[in-house]
Structure 1
Amino acid sequence: MSTTTVDTHSVAEELARLLPSSQPLVARPAEPGERPAPEAVAVVASFVGQGSAELVVVAEEAVAEAMAGAAALTLAEALRPALEAASQRLGTGVLSAAEERPAGDALTGRDVQLYALTAGGGVQAWFGIRTVSTAAPVSSAPLTPGSMRVLYDVELTLTTEIGRTRMPLRDVLALTPGTVLELDRAAGSPADVMVNGRLVARGDIVVVDEDYAVRITEIVSETSAQ
């Protein structure tokens, strides 16, 4: 899909759905003159893929309760899952690391579509999206290596997971040296190789020159990763 035809309201709704707010949020287009305070903290991330877009979230107050007691969690980290989910509505691509900027700088320009995220009749947070049109029509088919050549020099962060577990925040905050966490993976099972949170391959953990490494044993297709 092209970013020129993307349903930005659905992007805003998906972000509102996953924001860690104490109240369910509903996205609506901002009224003329409605804007967050220029000095408010905005979390900004760029999406590059079949098209390009910049996603801006102003939600420090809305997620304050969720972040209370989690001093090690930055605002950008708290909003990352919601940004990831929203970016998936834009098609295949890569979401950059998020950074914090003043809202007055991040939401400038007429090309920003601004949404108010409301609850209880009041605005609790804001979402802005600035889409960038491609120079030529973009096919709805998946991206091919040739069409992504312009992105070849973009550096991606790969992570390796040997397993996961879920636990309440209260238990995470109570972790101490010596705590043993049971993971959802049997010993000897292949590790997952992730790019921006998406599974792309599996492999065996090996040691190379006294450093850990991963020997790729399987490339995971988009359909099998779901």
Structure 2
Amino acid sequence: MTASTLSPSAVAIPAAEAALAVLPIGENLTIGEPVTDPAAGAIDGGVTIVATLTGNTAGHLGVTVNQELVDALRTSPLGELDLATAIAPALDAVAGVLGSVAGAAQELTPDAALTAMAAAGELTVIPLTAGDEPQAAIVLSLPAPAPAPAPQPTPEAEPAVPVTAGYDLLHGVDMEITVELGRTSMTVRDLLSLSNGSVLELDRTAGSPADVLVNRRLIARGEVVVIDEYFGIRITEILASGDRDQKIA
């Protein structure tokens, strides 16, 4: 699949709206006007979570949050929580608007993230404010549109050459396989109240099959088994190709 180039101005507001719906910040935030000035995303004391975009739109995506959320996660009763995991739903939500998939997240300072993203493509910053104070920002770095190619003379038609799919070239590619028993959602307040012995209710009933994901994409279902003191999964259903487009957010 060939990655397409979207206009940052066309997707900035929908991307910010998607992120704001799942961003774990308590304040009521307002989406500001998209700008190209990196300073709009440089929140003092904040942290930027950056991920690479693959799929229909290639590029880089960043979510910057304020120091208040960073401190809340790092001083929770459960110990220091992973900020990248807390921000991952917002990354996936923006990637979905762009028709892409967000890769592994990386935690950077806002200055370092903005410098690297500005060097990689056209930078667009969408500030999220409470009153007049910036509390978070969505940062997009998308490739600049390629110039239109000059007209070329039409070459004489040549006989078609059969192409053989080189699947052997893919045999050594590593794929991440994940087995998911179920999931739930909770507020940051409920997350911070967890303690040893807490029980989380998942969205699966007892005996339901577990999901088998390859690179976060659902491909099969199965039942959990134990083999020589190790957990395993016995495949009970291979999903049809049309059903494999489900992406686990």
Q: Same fold (TM over 0.5)?
A: yes
User: For each residue in 1:135-164, what CA deviation from the matched residue of structure 2 results, as whole angstroms up to 9, or x when unmatched?
Assistant: 8x9xxxxxxxx8xx9998765533212233
Larger Rg: 2
Identity %: 34
Structure 1 residue 26 displacement after superposition: 2.7
How many residues are paired up?
214
Q: Does 1:84 align with 2:92?
A: yes
Picking from 239, 245, 248, the partner of 1:219 is 239
Corresponding residue number in structure 1 for 2:11: 8
Picking from 75, 83, 86, the partner of 1:75 is 83
User: For each residue in 1:152-179, what CA deviation from the matched residue of structure 2 results, as whole angstroms up to 9, or x when unmatched?
Assistant: 87655332122334566447634324x5
Corresponding residue number in structure 1 for 2:28: 24
Give structure 1 stretches of 5+ with no counterpart.
138-145
Please tell me the root mean square deviation across aligned C-alpha atoms, in Å. Answer: 3.8
Picking from 46, 49, 53, the partner of 2:59 is 53
* 1:209–1:189 distance in 2 versus 1, CA, 3 Å: same
Corresponding residue number in structure 2 for 1:140: none
- Measured in 1, the distance between the counterparts of 2:28 and 2:38 equals 24
Q: Does 1:101 align with 2:120?
A: no
More strand by share: 1
More helix by share: 2
Structure 1 residue 32 displacement after superposition: 4.7
* 1:66–1:19 distance in 2 versus 1, CA, 3 Å: farther
One-letter identity of the residue aligned with 1:79: I
- Measured in 2, the distance between the counterparts of 1:56 and 1:224 equals 24
Q: Does 1:189 align with 2:208?
A: yes
Structure 1 residue 197 displacement after superposition: 5.2
* 1:79–1:156 distance in 2 versus 1, CA, 3 Å: farther
* 1:225–1:107 distance in 2 versus 1, CA, 3 Å: closer
Structure 1 residue 183 displacement after superposition: 3.9
Alignment of 1:138-177 (within 5 A): 155-165=174-184, 169-170=189-190, 173-177=193-197
* 1:127–1:64 distance in 2 versus 1, CA, 3 Å: same
* 1:12–1:213 distance in 2 versus 1, CA, 3 Å: same
* 1:38–1:156 distance in 2 versus 1, CA, 3 Å: farther
- Measured in 2, the distance between the counterparts of 1:124 and 1:39 equals 11
Task: Say if 2:47 and 2:109, in contact at 8 Å, map to a contact too.
Answer: yes
Partner SS, residue 4 of structure 1: coil
